[in-house]
Amino acid sequence: MDDFTKTSFPRPQTATRAAPAPSVVVATLASEKVDQKAQHHAAASDDDASSRSRASRLANGVNNVLGAKFYALGRLSARYPWRMIAASWMFAVLLSAGLGARGLKNENRSEKLWVPSNTQAQGDKTYVDTYYGSETRFAQVVLKSTTAGENILTPAGLDALNTVITAVRAASITWEGSTYSYTDHCYRTGSNCWESNVLTAFASAAAWDTQSEIDTALTASPITNQDGSTLYLEKVAGGLTYNSASAPTGAVALSATFLFTNNEELVSGDMVDKKGDAFDTELLKIFAEPPTGFEASYVTDRSFGDEFGGAINADLLKLQIALFLILAYAAATLSKWNLGCVGSRVGVTFAGIVSIGMAIASAYGLCAYLGLFFSPLMNVLPFLLLGIGVDDMFVIVNAYDNEVSRDPVERMGQSLRSSGMSITVTSLTDVVAFLIGSSTSLPALRNFCFYAALGIFFDYVYQVTFFTAFLTLDERRKANNKGDCFFCLDCPPQACCRCCSPGKSEKSILQRGMGRLGSGLRHRVVKYSVLVFFTVITIMGIIGCVKMEVDADVNNFIPDGSYLKGWFADSDTYFTESGDSVELYSKATLDLAADDAKLRAASAAFKANDYIVENTVRSWVDDFYTYRTALGGVTSANYVSTLNTWLANAGARYLNDVVFDDETSPTSITTTRIHGNHVKAIKSKASVTAMDSLRADIAAVSGNENGVIFAYGRSWLDYEQYKTIDAEAIRNISVTLAACLAIITILIVDPKTVFAVFLALSMIFVNIVGFMHFWGLSIDSVTVIMLVIALGLAVDYSAHIGRAYLEKRGTPDERIVRTLEDMGVAVWNGAMSTFMAVMILGSSSSYVFMTFFKQLFLCITLGLAHGLIFLPVLLSLLKPAPYAEAR
């Protein structure tokens, strides 16, 4: 049996500290003389149980019961450290075994992460995918003259565009030993590859040899493509100029759009089309080298993933540096440098990091056992747990260092009685808040909250067991004057240089600084100035909250310098009319042969909708109606056969839009679709309005009460996210704050302190959201996650200070100073370790990391200001009674 007390410890030096408990005072008076003023102060501070309120007595009862449990745990950890370490390690290994036994199920599909599972778009997507398969791949190039604003609707401009298109048609790749050409890979409508560009209006290159030929072809009304369909010039030419007769005379930009078949398959939770990506690589090479005298902006299906991922990968080194700075700061501030290498606590810091790593592995393992999917969002969880875990380390070590006058086992028991209660308040508040947050309808956020709740819980468990046991072993090393990392070597317990010597005061520089801050806050004028200042800040925060918008701009995710920036700029400048594509679908329960008037009415409503660009609508049912009317009409009996014949000939461009029950000998129609495009939306809110408007118009079509005709677009999955994310954010924040209030009430109990802590926490959060708006952020999938993380970190700043105030005796002003000298140091160090890491992320080019920086910067600065300035002032004015065992 390892007995901590067997190790020889030097007698600790007496340190300046708060007045001891009354029982200690009585015992001490028997042997030494105590200053009369100190006696009077101790007696005045000793509240008689009968004079306390019921809430105060309840607070004392809860504190005593829980404090006794932590006291016993601390003594157990100090007496049997190796057994505690072994038990913690075995527990962690058992939980983390889930990673090997079942493995984490990866999920990267956007619709599975950010779209509520009960939305209409999710159900519609399932139907559409069943009959029409995966969405086609997309590529587009926009060509302009290198001379800004020069007309490109010229023979030279069309020749340049033709050069690019010809190169695309000649592209090929070798994949798994086979060669695939453009025609093998393109998406077909009938027998032709689908393309959209101005050249489709000309029979051949010879047809645009002169400017007059171009003008003649493009001033016709309507402009007709070679397949007989109508060409809408504004869709393929941008920056158009017109003469007095409204005929086009020139254009600044020409676009060429291509569609390709999609061969996606699910790999590790992500839809992957490696062959398509390889073909996109060839297209990017072509687009990147436009003809001389012209410049190109371009995009392919793989562009977004490449550029988003590239921006994040480029900043991973910064994230690693940020994590290292947290560890370096923790090691530097936890150490007692006046004792030289003996006082170093690099090993203790490493043990704390190991405990956090055990928490991460345990959370991941248990979630694997439970079958919860793992998403890229979980990659920020270690940062959250590191911030919370390091803060817990500072609180535990700070309490341990303040118990220098006790024997080793008693010292750990008493330090954990205080620090254990403090981190219990913050940890359980975070755990409950995240568990409640896991009830959100957004799958990615739901699982993240569950992972976070488990991670914080396990971090809490390992901090009070594994870490405290290692702290005990480290104290043995110090007692024997052994080196830190080189514990086999004897080291003199002395400072390496004068700057590290303790000087006249045994308090650290930070303790003295916190003491001065507390002394400054004692003045009445300062107190009321603080209240006014923070009230003004909160009013500004409320104004920002009111103005906060939901807006998910994909352009935000594109790093500066990316070629996609140019494509988005040209698209927004020259092609401003048409937005996202959307389709109108009919189900098998609609008997088109007997009654296609219903679908034609829906098609008319589709075209007439305020948020649809009418000339983008391609309706097979309208064109087929024109065709069969010219035939003299079609009966219900030969409707299907006539439609099938038409699709094989004049209506070939609609061949993929009508699905029959049998491809060779059809007898009925299973499903159909009509294509169109939304009006281009600038804000996410406008996209949601467009979706709801079109749904309402189609639902209002006579005879469509049962929804056999419905509208759906692939982008509507994102619209559903926009529609719910603000409500989800408000709900999660409100419920989380309510959970924080409940846990703080249960564990702190004292009503005045609970009120003050919750008020400070609410103000912090309101100000974070409000100043996010002033800093140019909006509510989107990234900021919502960061808000949850910020709330988890913000709880610590206020809850630690609030509880520490109850553990201090004296006048209200004296308690401010003692609280800040004690817990203020731990809170500051925990915040600064995270702050240093956050500052590194401030230079990131990634929207995700830049958002991370902005929100955590607000969280830390506002959290510290409220926790170290506003809350102590408020508590001194409210004057909550201290705990009976307060010192």
The DSSP secondary structure of 549-579, one letter per residue, reads: -B---GGGGSPTT-HHHHHHHHHHHH--SEE
Residue 111, CA distances (Å) to 117, 268, 393, 579, 676 in order: 9, 15, 39, 20, 22
> Of 27, 88, 202, which is closest to residue 467 (Cα–Cα)?
88
Stated pTM of the model: 0.77
pLDDT digits 0-9 by tens, 737-772: 888 888 888 888 889 999 999 999 999 999 999 999
Element (H, E) at 430: helix 408-437
- Tell me: pLDDT of 38 over 60: no
Would you say residue 398 has pLDDT above 70? yes
**Dist. CA 214–CA 493, nearest whole Å:** 91
Assigned token pair, 33: 């003389």
pLDDT at 328: 85
Type of residue found at 738:
A
| Kind plus residue range of the DSSP H or E element containing 857 | helix 847-865
CB count within 10 Å of CB 68 equals 12
- Looking at 242-256, 481-495, 521-535, 554-568, which range is the least confident one? 481-495
Q: What was the pLDDT predicted at 52?
A: 56
Interatomic CA distance for residues 862 and 853, integer angstroms: 14
What is the reported pLDDT for 44?
Answer: 41
Report the relative pairing of strands 105-106 and 373-374 from DSSP bridges: parallel
> What is d(CA 597, CA 617) in angstroms, rounded to the nearest whole number?
18
Give the highest mean pLDDT range of 22-26, 32-36, 160-164, 184-188.
Answer: 160-164
Give the pLDDT confidence score for residue 7 in this predicted structure: 40
* Average pLDDT for 101-114: 78
Q: What is the pLDDT of residue 724?
A: 85
> pLDDT-based confidence at 495, cuts 50/70/90?
low
In the chain, % of residues over pLDDT 90: 45
**Best CA proximity match to 430, nearest among 736, 732, 735, 728:** 736
| Strand runs labelled E in 605-758 | 658-660, 669-679, 709-712
pLDDT value at residue 158 = 96
What pLDDT, on a 0 to 100 scale, did the predictor assign at position 192? 86
Beta bridge partners of 578: 679
What DSSP state is assigned to residue 651?
T
| Distance of alpha carbon 12 from alpha carbon 402, whole angstroms | 12
Task: Write down the domain spans for the chain.
Answer: 1-25+78-96+318-496, 120-312, 570-718
- pLDDT value for 843: 75
Q: Residue 24: what pLDDT?
A: 36
The answer, yes or no, to whether residue 135 has pLDDT greater than 80, is no
Q: Is residue 276 within 8 Å of residue 295, measured between CB atoms?
A: no
What confidence score (pLDDT) does residue 134 get? 74
What is the structure's pLDDT at 340?
62
Confidence check: pLDDT of 692 > 90: yes
pLDDT digit string (tens) for 593-647?
777 899 999 999 999 999 999 989 999 999 999 999 998 888 888 999 999 999 9
Task: Reduce the DSSP state of residue 186 to 3 states and report it.
Answer: strand
Q: Cβ of 176: how many Cβ atoms within 10 Å?
A: 7
Q: How confident is the model at residue 883 (pLDDT cuts 50, 70, 90)?
A: confident
The pLDDT of residue 15: 37
Where does the pLDDT of residue 29 fall: very low under 50, low under 70, confident under 90, or very high at 90 and above?
A: very low
Task: Please state, rounded to an integer, the average pLDDT across all residues of the chain.
Answer: 85
| Cα–Cα distance, 453 to 306 (Å, whole number) | 32
Residue 787 pLDDT > 90: no
pLDDT of residue 382: 84
Q: How confident is the model at residue 830 (pLDDT cuts 50, 70, 90)?
A: confident
Q: Say what the pLDDT of residue 309 is.
A: 67
Q: Is the pLDDT of residue 699 over 90?
A: yes
H or E element at residue 623:
helix 620-630
Residue 219 has pLDDT above 90, yes or no: no
Instruction: Tell me what pLDDT residue 40 has.
Output: 41
| pLDDT recorded at residue 139 | 96
Per-residue confidence band for 85, with pLDDT thresholds at 50, 70 and 90: very high
For position 343, what pLDDT does the model report? Answer: 72
Helical pair 684-699 and 716-748, crossing angle rounded to 10 deg: 120
In this structure, are residues 837 and 398 in contact, taking their beta carbons and an 8 Å threshold? no
Q: Which residues pair with 660 in a beta bridge?
A: 669
What is the H or E stretch that residue 140 is in? strand 137-145
Q: For residues 828 and 864, is the Cβ–Cβ distance under 8 A?
A: yes
How far lies 317's CA from each of 249, 356, 681, 835, 857, in Å?
52, 21, 37, 17, 20
More confident residue, 282 or 494: 282
pLDDT band at 13 (very low <50, low <70, confident <90, very high): very low
Residue pLDDT, tens place only, 330-388: 888 888 766 667 778 888 899 999 999 999 999 999 999 998 988 877 877 887 888 88
pLDDT in tens, 476-490: 888 777 766 666 666
**Closest of 308, 304, 267, 261 to residue 132, by C-alpha:** 261
pLDDT attached to residue 199: 94
- Give the separation between CA 872 and CA 559, rounded to whole angstroms: 43
Question: What would the two tokens of residue 168 be?
Answer: 């695309």
**Of the spans 19-23, 37-41, 324-328, 524-528, which averages the highest pLDDT?**
524-528
Instruction: Give 1-25+78-96+318-496's CATH code, choosing from 1.10.357.10, 1.10.286.10, 2.40.10.220, 1.20.1640.10.
Output: 1.20.1640.10
**pLDDT exceeds 90 at position 438:** no
What digits encode the pLDDT tens for the residues 585-600?
999 877 887 778 999 9
Six-digit token pair at 286? 């072509």
State the pLDDT at residue 488. Answer: 61
101-110, 181-190, 462-471, 569-578: which range is least confident on average?
101-110
Tell me the angle at which helices 81-96 and 468-479 cross, rounded to the nearest 10 degrees: 140
Interval 656-681: pLDDT, tens: 899 999 888 888 899 999 999 999 98
Higher pLDDT, 3 or 681: 681
